[in-house]
A and B are shown apart, each in its own frame.
Chain A
Amino acid sequence: MSAAQAFLNPRRWWRSKTPMYRRNYKWGLVFATPAFIGLAWFFAYPAIASIVYSFSNRTMTGAKTQWVGGTNYSGLFKDSEWWSSLGNTFYIMVLAVPIGIVVAVILALLLNLKVRGQSFYRTIFFLPSILPVVASGVVWLYVFNPQYGVLNNVLSWFGINGPGWLQDPNWAKPALVIFSVWGLGNLMVIMLAGLQEVPQDLQEQAMVDGANWWHRFWHVTVPFISPHLMFALITGVIAGFQYFTPVYVLTNGSGDPAGATMVSGVYLYQNAFQNFKVGYASAMAWVLFIIIAVCTALLFKLFGKRVYYGGE
């Protein structure tokens, strides 16, 4: 139908459209222009190059490169390290993303009440995001250290015997989750902003109607912040699959202990920059891309309909 027509006989297709359609089309293109330029300039070449590499055994320099067809992709299926790295990535993401969103929403809700010292609290929660990760990583190495560690020291005040965190294969991933959740300042700002969109009169109306706290939250607040929850979820999942920096700053990218922190991003990096298997790493990147795309599409499908946009 129209897509085929548009290609076969663009002029006729164009004329067959309503003036409104044509007007919107033109404006749509105008507003998309920077995006098109940006995509063509900064994304097209690297993306196409890496797709091409993924079908070759390219090394760091490209010397002695041959085509290997789909070998890299089929190799991934047999690579147990790749599967375990995906598992680790998933583990961290499934914990870090929801916990991050829930904590950010709780903080935002509390900070949205007219409490004294609001600005002060907000600044405290935002401070971790200001610290360059080079510095915060080093701080957290001290925090998690079982011997000199601040965290276990604080836990001991409450009579808790803390685990070995980054030294313990069972606790290394939870430690990474804690580190990630600590930097939720940006998310908190977004949620706070979203909360400002909840109309006061609706809240008050609900209160007069005798709705309890949970009802008010679920039926009034959540719909209005749902676009931002959606945003947090999607960007969280996209970033979660590419989890890298915390592992680099906290374990030096070794995957220690016992491979417990070897996430896909680090495994990819190791393949490309340590073992120079650039072709293989590119295949990993595109498999990751497909996984992320599928998950994102699923999330849109699951929750997209429930998102309430005031403008529609």
Chain B
Amino acid sequence: MTSPHTFRQVDDRGGGGGAPSRRRALGLMGGAAAAAFLSGCAVVSVPNGVSTVGLSKGAAPGRKKNIEVYNNQGAPTGMGVVEMAKAFEASHPDIGVKVTYSPIVTQDVQPKLLTAIAGGQPPDVGMVGQEYVPMWSRLGMMEELTPMVHAAGIKETDYAGIAGPRAWIDNRVWALQWEGDPNFPLFWNKDLFEKAGLDPDTPPTFVTDTGNAADKQKTVDYYAGKLLKHTGGLISQIAIVPWDVYGFANSMYTWGFSFGGKFLSADGTKLTPEHPLNIKALQWMTAYAKAAGGVAKLATTPPGLTLHPFAGGHIGMAPLVGANFQAIRTAQPKMRIGGGLLPYQPPGASAAGQGAWLGGWSFFIPKGARDPEAAWEFIRWTTATNAGATAEYKKVGYIPVYSNSDGLRAARTDPNMAPYWKTLMSLKNQRPLTPGTSLLANSMEKYVSSAVFGQMSAEDALHTAGKEANDFWQAFNKQVGTQLTQAKAMALLRHGNGQVNSA
């Protein structure tokens, strides 16, 4: 653990050496190499050095039962997951938890987890997004949790917002959410607002022209005009980058919902990206891109970058996930940032923040897990107890969704988390829970960006995406059968209380 020190030493020697010969320079480099290796080797000799660092850990020794949990979170949240598992071990003397890192390689895909399940050697607990459950459960990749959930007396009303209802699909439970990812609150740069002559405490209420003259100055478009700047033909300052909300597909969800659009038909049997209000939203995005000019030279969002571009101080507003916002807070403590709900567009939508939708990871037990009982205890503790949810909030840092938890209560009053709390409590949307949703994400990614870059009309883009996704879904149903009635799932969501009459 002494590498920085080692490097400084090498620097000093190199600096004091006058005109070092080549041989000498070589020697120095060799020394540096050896030192780097040695300093690394020092880590090996630290007792338990490896298993206590990083994103994986071995199970605590001497437990009656041992389970393996696949962790898809990179640094720093991944270390939080390890810490959370340790907290679980501390309160469960019989169960050891091995945490194995299973990173996401390309959009939401966890190749290690999938290969392990398909290859017949799954972990006891894995992570999945709820929108994948309809597909994975029907392909027999998941152990049903319903009996355990009933036995433990866990109800969907135990969860904040729609987190409960979305897990109770057709009154069956396959995965429980251990973290909330309310996508998204809106953040704005107060300094930029001030410089542009806008009120630093008031973000836009509406997206675009509502037809009401009094609202004109409350729209994103109005702010866009005030904040847009070009230097040498390039955009040097911009109000918001609407197509850059964590990829084109997620952007489409966010603005589609903000316009009041729906991505699933009322009876829950068809994906509807081509909903007229979604088309309106995409038309607005493309018009915005055109008006801004030169969109092909704007940087997109991380994972590539350390900080979200919003931190650079040239973007007026941005919807941000928690991890990015926290990172900006830490790196730029002096930046004045306002946080609130997303603007909306009447008449389709009726309230600020309506564009937000719930993401987040859930825990599930893969089919074929060796110890489903102990695995369930881990899931129960992390997703349905105050201790677990609070440990998650403290160690990992995502907002928990288990209602009766100190973690959720703390988030409400924490100035950094409050916008997320508010968003979580008010949001009504999610990516549709259907087997066609993964394909819809692929298709929208392609066609929505084609529309933004002016290669396709908004109608064509969304119609094509919808057709591809629905074709895929139908073929899937034909092959696997339709045990799940999406209508019921939707009804559950609409009523929000799980009381479905009939469907």
Instruction: Assess A/B contact in the complex (Cβ within 8 A).
Output: yes
Knowing A164-B297, A248-B106, the reply to whether A57 touches B479 (Cβ < 8 A) is yes
Give Cα A166 to B449, complex, Å: 13
Q: Is the interface of A mostly helix, strand, loop or mixed?
A: loop
Minimum CB–CB distance from A158 to chain B (whole Å) comes to 15
Whether the Cβ atoms of A148 and B442 lie closer than 8 Å is no
- Whether the Cβ atoms of B296 and A163 lie closer than 8 Å is yes
Q: Is the CB of A161 within 8 A of B107?
A: no
Write out, one digit per residue, whether chain B residues 435-461 have a CB within 8 A of any chain A CB (1) or not (0). 000110010011001101101000000
Q: Which residues of A contact B453 (CB under 8 A)?
A: 169, 257-258
User: CB < 8 Å: which of A60, A169, A248 contacts B139?
Assistant: A60
Interface 1/0 per residue, A168-185 and B, CB below 8 Å: 111100000000000000
- Stretch of A214-222, A270-278, A282-290 contacting B (4+ beta carbons < 8 Å): A270-278
- Given A64-B479, A64-B481, A276-B135: A259 touches B439 (CB 8 Å cut-off): no
B462-492 interface (Cβ within 8 A of A): 472, 479-481
Interface residue A263 (Cβ < 8 Å from any Cβ of B): no
Within 8 A of B (CB), among A248-296: 248, 250, 252-259, 262, 266, 269-270, 273-276
A133-163 Cβ-contact flags toward B at 8 Å (1 or 0): 0000010011001111100000000000101
A256 touches B449 (CB 8 A): yes
Complex: how many Å from CA A250 to CA B299?
A: 13
**Does A63 sit at the interface, judged by CB under 8 A?**
yes
Known: A145-B299, A275-B472. A60 touches B446 (CB 8 A): no
Q: Which residues of B contact A276 (CB under 8 A)?
A: 135, 139
Chain B CB within 8 A of A212 CB: no
> What residues on A are CB-neighbors of B267 within 8 Å?
none
A89 within 8 A of B: no
Q: For the complex, give the distance between the alpha carbons of A262 and B135 in Å.
A: 24
Q: Are B445 and A273 in contact (CB under 8 A)?
A: no
In the bound complex, what is the Cα–Cα distance between A273 and B438 (angstroms)? 10
Contact of A242 with B by CB under 8 A: no
What is the CA–CA distance of A250 and B442 in the complex, to the nearest angstrom? Answer: 17
Given contacts A167-B299, A253-B106, contact A273 B111 (CB under 8 A): yes
CA distance in complex: A266, B438 (Å): 15
Q: Among residues 139 to 155 in chain B, which have CB atoms less than 8 Å away from a CB atom of chain A?
A: 139-141
Specify which chain B residues have a CB less than 8 angstroms from the CB of A259 in the assembled complex: 446, 449-450
Question: Within 8 Å of chain B (Cβ to Cβ): is A196?
Answer: no
**A33 contacts chain B at the CB level, 8 A cutoff:** no
Interface string of B231-273 (1 = CB under 8 A from A): 0111000000000000110000000000000000000000000
Identify which of B140, B233, B296 contacts A61 (C-beta below 8 A). B140
Question: Is B298 touching A146 in the complex (CB atoms < 8 A)?
Answer: yes
Are B232 and A161 touching (Cβ within 8 A)?
yes
Per-residue CB contact flags for chain A residues 216-250 toward chain B (1 = under 8 Å, else 0) read 00000000000000000000000000000000101
Question: B305 contacts A167, CB within 8 Å?
Answer: no
Cβ B446 vs Cβ A275 within 8 A? no
Partner of B298, one of A59, A147, A171, A274: A147
Smallest CB–CB gap between B98 and chain A, Å?
24
Between A and B, 15 residue pairs with Cβ closer than 8 Å are A59-B479, A60-B139, A63-B139, A64-B481, A146-B299, A161-B233, A169-B296, A169-B449, A254-B445, A257-B453, A258-B446, A262-B446, A269-B106, A273-B111, A274-B438
Q: Could you tell me which A residues sit within 8 Å of B by CB distance?
A: 57, 59-64, 66, 81, 138, 141-142, 145-149, 161, 163-164, 166-171, 248, 250, 252-259, 262, 266, 269-270, 273-276
11 extra A-B contacts, CB within 8 A, seeds A142-B304, A169-B453, A274-B109: A60-B141, A61-B139, A146-B297, A147-B309, A148-B305, A169-B449, A253-B106, A254-B247, A273-B111, A274-B438, A275-B439
The 8 closest A-B pairs by CB, nearest first: A253-B106, A141-B304, A168-B296, A164-B297, A164-B296, A259-B446, A147-B299, A146-B297
